[in-house]
Amino acid sequence: MRSGFLRGMRKMDLGLRRGLSRSPSDRCRGRRVIGASSLAATPAAIFAIVFLTGAARGEESVSQRELQAKIDYCETCHGASARGFRGYAPIPRLAGQQPEYLKNQLKAFVERGRSSNIMYNVSHVLSPSMQTALAASFSSLNPKPLGGGSKQLAPAGKKIFEEGIPSSNIPPCGSCHGADAKGNGPFPRLAGQLHDYLFGKLTNWSKERGQNPAKPDTSAIMEPIAHGLTEPQVRAVAAYLSDLE
């Protein structure tokens, strides 16, 4: 499993150096079959929306071929239909994610507000128009979640998500992330996110976010919440969210 992940990393770096111009792989062709029934719009419609939105903002347009090459490249790590992937480490789901949140995170990687050398290398070469196009494309996907969280812990996680923990000054998660956990603007979608990814980020928040104090982002609001949750509570919330569609 680890060797497969490392091969993926080498392929990703090679793709970056070659300008990410490779044609869709067999696995990515499989992605379109797997996700076809759950797409919110057709690829052509998505591309038209992205093109018009970018033009309205004065951004340079990107071709459909360029966009598809980047999508295929991202799915090398983030899995078919961008539903997340478990390898040497859990890699997050991007499918259905809020476009504004995705663009904010790409910016955070570039500004070193989030720690990831891999994602820095990916993010800093993306033009604003490509960021807009990728964010719109991934937000339109809605594959089934990978799931895998503890069914026994999910009810406790649901309670925390809906009611918070008043005794610890923890507000309901749904107050920012939406009652359906699908996010809202800068607040990310949590529904269907990998439970082990969520657990890792929340229990290591200070090492993962806010690494550039000179350029704080919207994630700062989560710092006291992440620190106020115990590991069993985080595990329960993550288990509940991982199966939401």
DSSP category for residue 215:
S
Dist. CA 70–CA 5, nearest whole Å: 19
Instruction: Quote the tokens at residue 44.
Output: 């052509």
Q: What average pLDDT does range 204-233 have in this prediction?
A: 85
- Domain 2-139 fold is Cytochrome Bc1 Complex; Chain D, domain 2 (1.10.760)
Q: Where are the domains of the chain?
A: 2-139, 154-242
How many residues are given for the chain?
Answer: 245
2-139 and 154-242 share one fold? yes
Is the alpha carbon torsion for 23, 27, 29, 32 positive or negative? Answer: negative
State the DSSP string of 77-126. Answer: HH-GGG--EESSSEE---TT--HHHHHHHHHHHHTTSS--HHHHHHHTT-
Q: pLDDT per residue over 127-174, tens digit each? A: 999 999 999 999 999 999 999 999 999 999 999 999 999 999 999 999
Domain 154-242 has CATH 1.10.10.10: no
Q: pLDDT per residue over 231-240, tens digit each? A: 999 999 999 9
pTM value? 0.76
Output 96 or 215, whichever has higher pLDDT.
Answer: 96
What residues have CB less than 8 Å from 190, skipping those under 6 apart? 173, 177, 181, 183, 198, 241, 244
Q: pLDDT per residue over 81-136, tens digit each? A: 999 999 889 999 999 999 999 999 999 999 998 888 999 999 999 999 999 999 99
Q: What average pLDDT does range 7-15 have in this prediction?
A: 46
Q: To the nearest whole percent, how much of the chain has pLDDT over 70?
A: 76
Checking if the pLDDT of 22 tops 90, the result is: no
